[in-house]
Structure 1
Amino acid sequence: MSEQLALFDKVRAEPEGLRYAADFVSPAIERELIQCIRTLPLQPFQFGQFEGKRRVASFGFRYDYDQRQLKRAEPIPAWLAEIVTSVETFGGPGTRIQQVLCTEYGIGVGIGWHRDKPHFDRIFGLSLGAACKFRFRRPARKSWERFTLDAEPRSLYTMSGPSRLTWEHSIPAVEAPRYSITFRTMGYEPDLGAPA
């Protein structure tokens, strides 16, 4: 009976709308993607007056923290076309990736608690390089309900529904270099003009 309760608690703990697929890409494709990310003009993540330690490059759209709105970015590069198609297939009918964020995490770099901006809909994340602890939390009375996903290299996670809208997520400082490619959908495509 206690084993059944423990199993029930484990099932309940996972945020609704969170999906995970191990070995989404092969080791060879992982190496190619990491090499392509390394050649990008990565810039420290900017949020208002603050600068994060992780380095990023946005495609399709980017969020401007000063103006608090989406801006059009450079088009999604051709070397990402095949993986974007794979992610859209994984997402199911009607999935259309419109924004991609490539991120480099150096040793000792993580990301604090947050939810992705409401301009975006579903979130897909491809983990490359080192594994990480992908942590979730949401308020539970005077405390927090928590869940940790072990995001292994080459795995893909998806956040939709409550896992996307009511749970916050974070990544503690990584112990080895890590890269990620975040793919986002939107409910609509804003008319923003040319890239800024």
Structure 2
Amino acid sequence: MNMRLPPGARLVDGFVGLGDAQHLLAAIDAEPWRSDLKRRVQHYGWVYDYRARAVSPDMDLGPLPHWLAEIANRVGQDGGFGATPDQVIVNEYCPGQGISAHVDCEPCFGPVIASLSLNGSAEMTLRKRSTGERHCVILEPAHLLILSGEARYHWTHEIPARKSDVIKGVRKARTRRVSLTFRTVTL
């Protein structure tokens, strides 16, 4: 298995500091969670309909809350969005939970997707759709993964549902991981 990133993927180590990460987690945990998936989620800016794989004008939730707007602006600037992302999905992954291989909805979202990891670590697998070539990356707390270009459109990404990962040669039990996925809605 190849440990490098595919073209168009970039990992920014320590995108947020420990204090900022704790502040974000506290703000997230103060908000209500949706439990209609195998994992808990929160939607900001726009609701994404997982069944229809769509976003429509009636799904607009308004501007991002103040505690999320500043980090979204920074992600937009540093992540190559060209503007502040207007949609954020917060996902909570408990040990044993993951997300199946997918490409974020192409007609729904713009050319850059970014995911900020908080609290726990997990291994993500990226797989080229045309060849099956595979790359893995460890998503550590405070790291920002940016997918654009080829990595955004031609590679799936997934987090295998398991209770541990091998990190730097050592099996490490997963703990609760929260991710913030930043996207721009294209209607």
The TM-score with structure 1 as length reference comes to: 0.79
More strand by share: 1
Identity of aligned residues (%): 36
The 1:138–1:83 alpha-carbon spacing in structure 2 relative to 1, beyond 3 Å, is same
Give ranges in structure 1 of 5+ residues lacking alignment: 1-8, 47-51, 191-196
More helix by share: 1
Opposite residue 177 of structure 1, the aligned amino acid is: R
1:55 paired to 2:40:
yes
RMSD: 2.1
The 1:18–1:41 alpha-carbon spacing in structure 2 relative to 1, beyond 3 Å, is same
Equivalent residue for 1:181?
Answer: 180
- Higher Cα radius of gyration: 1
The 1:93–1:67 alpha-carbon spacing in structure 2 relative to 1, beyond 3 Å, is closer
Equivalent residue for 2:126?
Answer: 136
Q: Which runs of 4+ in 1 moved over 6 A?
A: none
Q: How many residues align?
A: 171
One of 59, 63, 71 as aligned partner of 1:75: 63
Give ranges in structure 2 of 5+ residues lacking alignment: 164-173
Partner of 1:102, secondary structure, is: strand
Q: Which stretch of structure 1 is more off in the superposition, 21-30 or 174-183?
A: 174-183
The 1:16–1:115 alpha-carbon spacing in structure 2 relative to 1, beyond 3 Å, is same
Contact 2:97 2:160 in 1 (8 A): yes
